[in-house]
Amino acid sequence: MKQYVLQRFLQMIVILFGTSFIIFFLFAILPGDFIDSNISLTPQRAQELKSLYGLDQPILHRYLNWLGNALHGDFGYSLKHQEKVLSLLNKYVWNSFFVAIFALILTWSIALLTGVLSAIKQYSWFDGAVTFLVFAAMSFPSFFISLLFIKWFGVDLQILPIGGMIETGSENTGVSYLLEVGKHMILPVTILTLLSVGSLTRYFRTGMLEVIRLDYIRTARAKGLKERVVIFKHALKNAILPAITLLAFELPGLFSGAIIMEQIFNWPGVGRIQLESVSFRDYPVLMAFTMFLSCLTIIGNFLADVTYAAVDPRIRLR
Amino acid sequence: MSEMLLEVNHLVTNFHTENGIVQAVNDVSFSIREGETVCIVGESGCGKSITALSLMQLIPENGKVESGEILFAGNNLLQLTKKDIRRLRGNEIGMIFQEPMTSLNPVFTIGEQMIEPIMEHLFLSKKDAYKKAKELITMLGMPNAEKIIQLYPHELSGGMLQRIMIAIALSCNPKLIIADEPTTALDVTIQAQILDLLRDIKKEFKTSILLITHDLGVVAEMADYVVVMYAGKLVEEGPVLELFADPKHPYTKGLLQAKPVIGERKERLYTIAGQVPNLTDLKDGCYFADRCEHVQGICRKKQPDLTDVGQHQKTACWLYKEGAR
């Protein structure tokens, strides 16, 4: 086990180097950079700025330069925001994270419950209704359903704010600040949940349906156990094992921000920073953020393998 | 004569499938006395396992016990509530299945799975239940009980797992053990050990056993009384010695002829021609008529009832009906 962790750790380092190289080169070979997009500069001034930012040097040189700084924990300044990249990301990433984590918890709880219930009551009216609703929720485009909800709850009923994270000019602190943010969070979280709950519900339903037909479930019933124990202990543990992998893949998603939702609800999340960094060729932000997500993806994979081995006795890591 | 423990009267179990109604168990009656071993014999797909599962009410969802009664210690199991049936399962009736490798949950240890019925039915604490589980393992001839209860099913062999299944079935001192082809998936030496184990249990605890098998060697070794099933119907029954010495129904005769005899070399083993009929569209006459060597006119028109032949033997065949022809 120790050896496995060590081995995976070394692999992770190699993969991260590879990823950073590929990302850096892919963006560097795209025509244009941060200076080119500013047409108000004279050619002379543009040239000065380019050499100031080091944009006139060869790609490999720039990459090694970036890598050397990054290894010292220095991810540079954002060209657009003129702020340290780390403090910039730190400011926005948590806004996205809290929306994502609530949506994740909601999605998984709802999906688990409805998936299991519709499996044990297969083809009942409940199963039919759940199937209908999850497919309906899945098939709406997110921008449409977001606008619809803004109209219903924000404009018609006026019970929820139509966007933003706090009221304009609000100076609340402490609990009242949290309540205010919470109120603004309801719609974004609901939308994200609606969009992702469907596939997961179907996933749990299928997993459960496969398991409850197996011999050991019959054995559990033959032992005279309560139906509740048969389903929620014996069947569920087997049915949710494969979902651990899915859960681990959600890890980068927690921090990556939801671009469409953040645009529509005017949520100050990191998704928008990411989009801007691509369109303005803000390399320091782009590189730091992409590397952060790669790290999380790799860690998520690693965690999936380790937890899977911990909960499924048939798997041994070597 | 000891007391009657289980009486099955005119049991009918049907499956509702897309191809129509499958009559898996069709008017089957038999009984088991205390301490007696009854074997149900027949080919694959003739309703043996469904008969056993009907007793426990564990038949798959599209199946239904349509009529009949199952009297266990005087109570009709078909009229009990779900809760009462649950109290009976694993407690007064233990069950052993065909595939030990898939009958235990892969993600729980042997110990965890053994203590469940003990805690549920005997109301022991977790600690006492573990103690009892270890005693059971030792009793069933497995060394190192301490270690076994910490293992997972995939770490044990099929023979060991079947012993664990027997231990689970025995754990609450049941009056009846239903063993559904308990040795089919095991190799021959292990088969013999498992059968010895069941015999010892019967001797020691006076437990009744309902053994389901297609192996006549197992029947000869284990049974006191034999019930032969064909296409969901009971075709012959009788005490094991009488039935083996003087089988009446052509199907039973065929089964016995198809059994290899040790020390005898034959070019070819006898087989009963044809297959078990499709249970969705059964004809009016005797279901065995198409495969029977003694088939006669009436066999294809009318079904024979079970009638007494010999002292304790009964068979459902027109050959033994007087005046029929």
ipTM, interface predicted TM-score of the complex: 0.87
Q: Do B120 and A223 touch (CB under 8 A)?
A: yes
Q: Which helix (H) or strand (E) holds B209?
A: strand B208-213
Global pTM value? 0.81
Q: Taking each helix axis from N to C terminus, what angle separates A283-311 and A2-28, rounded to the nearest 10 degrees? A: 150
Scanning the structure block, which residue is given the tokens 């499709």? B278
Residues of B in contact with A216 (CB under 8 A): 102-106
CB contact under 8 Å between A224 and B152, yes or no, is no
Q: What's residue A317's pLDDT?
A: 66
A312–chain B Cβ distance below 8 A for any pair: yes
| The residue type at A268 | P
pLDDT of residue A211: 93
CB spacing of A238 vs B106 below 8 angstroms: yes
Q: Which of A211, A216, A227 to mutate to test the interface with B (most CBs of B within 10 A)?
A: A216
* A318 has pLDDT over 70: no
As a whole number of angstroms, the distance between CA B168 and CA B50 comes to: 21
Residue A103: which pLDDT band, with cuts at 50, 70 and 90?
very high
Averaged pLDDT, B293-313: 85
A202 to chain B, minimum CA–CA distance in Å?
21
- Chain A residues whose beta carbon lies within 8 Å of the beta carbon of residue B103: 215-216, 218-219
Pairing of strands B176-180, B93-96: parallel
CA B109, CA B53: separation in Å to the nearest integer? 26
Contacts of B105 in chain A (CB under 8 A): 216, 219-220, 234, 237-238
Contact A192, A200 (CB under 8 A): no
| pLDDT on residue A172 | 79
Nearest CB among B86, B97, B109 relative to A224 is that of B86
Q: Determine phi and psi for A229, rounding to 5 degrees.
A: -70, -40
Checking if the pLDDT of B323 tops 70, the result is no
Q: A256's torsion region: left (phi>0), alpha (psi -120 to 50) or beta?
A: alpha
pLDDT, tens digit, for every residue of A46-64? Answer: 888 888 777 778 888 888 8
- pLDDT of B263 over the 80 cut: no
How would residue B124 be classed by pLDDT, with cut points 50, 70 and 90? very high
Across chain B, what does the average pLDDT equal?
A: 88
* pLDDT attached to residue A243: 87
Mean pLDDT (whole number) for B52-74: 89
Judged by CB atoms closer than 8 Å, whether chains meet at A224 and B99 is answered as no
Cβ of B91 within 8 Å of Cβ of A224? The answer is: yes
Put simply, the answer to whether A225 touches B86 (Cβ < 8 Å) is: yes
pLDDT tier, B265 (very low <50, low <70, confident <90, very high otherwise) = confident
Contact B87 A224 (CB under 8 A): yes
Q: What is the sign, positive or negative, of the torsion defined by CA atoms of A286, A292, A298, A303?
A: negative
CB distance from A232 to chain B under 8 Å? no
CA distance A150 to chain B (A): 46
Q: Which of A154-158, A184-188, B280-284 has the lowest mean pLDDT?
A: B280-284
Across the interface, of A215, A219, A313, the residue whose CB is closest to B152 is A313
CB-CB: which of B58, B120, B121 is closest to A222? Answer: B58
- B249 near B236, Cβ under 8 Å? yes
CA distances from B262 to A269, B217, B259, B270 (A): 81, 11, 10, 15
User: Do the chains contact at A311 and B86, CB–CB below 8 Å?
Assistant: no
- Structural domains in chain A, CATH included, are 16-68 (no CATH), 93-317 (1.10.3720.10)
